[in-house]
Amino acid sequence: MRLLLVRHGVTSETGRALTGRLPGVALSDMGRLDAAVVADRLSRRPIVAAYTSPIRRCRETARIVAGPHRLIPVTDRRAIEVDYGTWSGRKLADLNRLKAWGRLMAAPSRFRFPEGETLGEVQARAVEAVEEVAARHGTDEVLLVSHADVIRVLLCHYLGMPLDLIHRLNVAPCSLSVIDLAAEGTVHVPVVNQVFGPPEAS
């Protein structure tokens, strides 16, 4: 299976706050435009199925990107955003000043978000979802729209990187990463954080 991992587009809170699982946060106009660019660039790919986090910004992005393929994205809760616990909704500028933020940056594999998840728990559920999709789709090409940290923990797993190196990976809004999973168990990661420009001229 070839898994096309796309991060959702930007919202009014992207880069300002740790939105997490808070409800009702929609794509901004720029987020919808960027998703349309991704839809255009992937429109000729042989995508046979689309999956998405249940969070609104992902569902909106998935509908746009899957549109040219006439696919209805299937929600998989295991692709949901990290449970950031009591940090959800807080401004990033405020979080950056916390001692706990320093611990997160220094040793992310050993950090639990206050009243929330660890990245190891996120990785376990996300990998489980991907492995089930791979078993279901064989050699197909499949879209999954999720969140930056979820995509980064998946990349860590399939690249064989320790979670403590997760902050070396950048996953920009509406970027594409690709993971190839062969039936015999071999893994190839040919693309990480590809960001598309304007739509290609037809």
Q: What domain range is 178 assigned to?
A: 2-194
CATH code of residue 136: 3.40.50.1240
**Total domains, the chain:** 1
Indicate whether 59 belongs to any domain: yes
CA dihedral (11, 74, 6, 159) in degrees, to 10, reads 130
Q: Residue 156 is which amino acid?
A: C
Residue 157 lies in a domain: yes
Q: State pLDDT tens for residues 148-186.
A: 999 999 999 999 999 999 999 999 999 999 999 997 889
Question: What is the DSSP secondary-structure string of 60-106?
Answer: HHHHHHHGGGT--PEE-GGGSPP--GGGTT-BHHHHTTSHHHHHHHH
- Note whether residue 202 is domain-resident: no
Domain membership flag for residue 201: no
Convert the pLDDT of each residue in 35-61 to its tens digit.
Answer: 999 999 999 999 999 999 999 999 999
The predicted model scores a pTM of: 0.96
